[in-house]
Structure 1
Amino acid sequence: MSAYSVVACCQIAPRVGDLAYNRRIGERAIRDAARHGAQILVLPELAQSGYVFHDLEEARTLAETRDGPALQLWRALARELGVVIVGGFCEQLEEGGVANSAALVDASGVRAIYRKAHLWDGENTIFSAGTEPPPVVDTAFGRIALMICYDLEFPEWVRLPALAGAELICAPVNWPRAPRPPLERPAEVVRVQANASVNRLFIAACDRHGHERGVDWVQGSVIVDSDGYPLAGPVEEGGEQLLLATLNLAEARDKRISRHNHLHQDRRPGLYGEGGLLA
């Protein structure tokens, strides 16, 4: 496995409820990224279905299993192009619920499915929250962890894949636009940078663009290095965007930040009052 990997964020605009259209624009973005040399490709949150559902019943009509058309397409493209694809989809659950999920697919098939654990605003009325920590998957291009959007606002959650050896977090996101002071970066991007820096790992957060049922988006896709500095993005411009960055993932394996400091070895969990997964 080469230490250097080319990562792409494919900032597209899915249409809520238009599954065939969403597959088409996803395929176009994936092929375009692969033509530009990308090996790891990230699509937005709920790229398969769109995001702003009216209610649970609408979400159920748009949900798919891991064997549904979207993941079948991603599997075929990953196999044909020799890439890793991470994308968000509305997952149909056995008990009739739905999850806000992300899949990691490579040439061998579906390697992992992660269900968003921290639900944002109206998502709480539609989705069943995930209960499993972010998976960390060994791929041909690096050790990749999956998270989704609001998950990135919980430092304890980001720490889990860092401690499990993740080199890169791929995070499909849909960041709703909100007011902010002039000249300030989106707070969502700042949090991604902070998470990357305090864990010394890379993060690729793929946002979306467009307008959906009264919601506009930050359009803040960003690829951040292990020191917390953006390598690509955020562009914050309208329209489809392809962000590309070449990452030396070996840097994420070195947690030393000074002669006498190591980010993992310096942790003192007994002082933090944290138990369970964080102990």
Structure 2
Amino acid sequence: MTTDVAAGLPAGLTTRALTMADAAAVTAVISAQELDDVGEVIIEEADIVADWQRPGYDVTASSIGVFDDDRLVAYAESGSGGRGDAAVHPDYRGRGIGTRLAAWMRARAGEQGQPEVGMPVPQGSPGDVLLEGLGYRVRWTSWVLQLPEGASIPARPLPEGYVVREAGPDEYEAAWTVQEDAFLEWSVRERETYAQWESSVVRRPGFEPWNLRVVADPGGVVVAMGLVQLNDRCAYIARLATRRDQRGRGLAQALLVDAFAVAAEHGATRSELSTDSRTGALSLYEKVGMEVTSVWVNRAIETGAPR
């Protein structure tokens, strides 16, 4: 049976499973924690909704919230593929809440048949220190990079006949295919279905057709894709992938130039993206002038479930 979080909490705090109606409250807790840890808010409510509305994901069966009266002060969830997440409002740190949630997340993932569970935390943050002390190891490191104010990514001409543009609805499935083929070269997980991809991209709150960018070859075939999201005047490249046989031609760089330019036309004043040590792409982004603004580690632990 899943760990009883309430049994180890300070007096007055209660727990319950979450629902889609709690997305805004969860966003507020994560935002407060990010602001305290890295000095900026990265999450937005659309991220939570997009994750929770994915086909096959049961929010109530996979989450728990900690409440002080009616106020959500901490939460944890266990998703598919060993992906977990948790956050504690800075005002409630140091009371053992994070320890209880980490135990709950590990136990719940094991019940779901996941051999391990992990989550990203800012390197050196209280969450990082806590998870390390609980035996969570580092699976990979990731970096958030930003294009300095006034800088631009050098334009790189596309091969003859190639074009970079907004994806048409009839190309969404091709963009998904390019992304999944590329991501699964380094990511150890089940292949994301098109329905799951669509729910987190096309049906993500706030999605507009211009957000999804593609490079098409002379025959009109999609060979690279990029997804740019606009949040508080920040253009964020959430996905970027090139078909294996098309790499080394500057397609990814062309997508970055295009995506950031289009986002600027829609009001963006700064440009960001993230990458991790599994992709080997950090040097590529640094070479085009982007700078690391924060470092995160993905810490995981075995659950005891069979592999």
Higher relative contact order (CA 8 A, sep 6+): 2
TM-score, structure 1 normalization: 0.30
